[in-house]
Amino acid sequence: MALGHVVAARDAEALSSTRAHERAHVAQAERWGPFFVPAYLAASLWAVGRGEHPYFDNLFERDARLRSQRPC
């Protein structure tokens, strides 16, 4: 989970496996500023309205998955 500029996880293994994804969320939050949380929630509602999954089909999650797969 990203909290501001801090990426938190339950243990070192979880941190290692999710760090890139969560750092993508940090970048999103920097880009969107105070509108990030409302935009994230709106993206979840948009996905549900299209009959999709509110997490897996959220545009911010899709972007974070793509960004975390790219080499630095």
**Single pTM value for the model:** 0.88
pLDDT digits (tens, 9 = 90+) for 5-58: 889 999 999 999 999 999 999 999 999 999 999 999 999 999 999 999 999 999
Question: Rounded to an integer, what distance in angstroms lies between the CA atom of residue 38 and that of residue 46?
Answer: 12
Question: Rounded to an integer, what distance in angstroms lies between the CA atom of residue 68 and that of residue 31?
Answer: 17
Per-domain residue ranges for the chain?
A: 2-69
Please give the average per-residue pLDDT across 58-72, as a whole number: 88
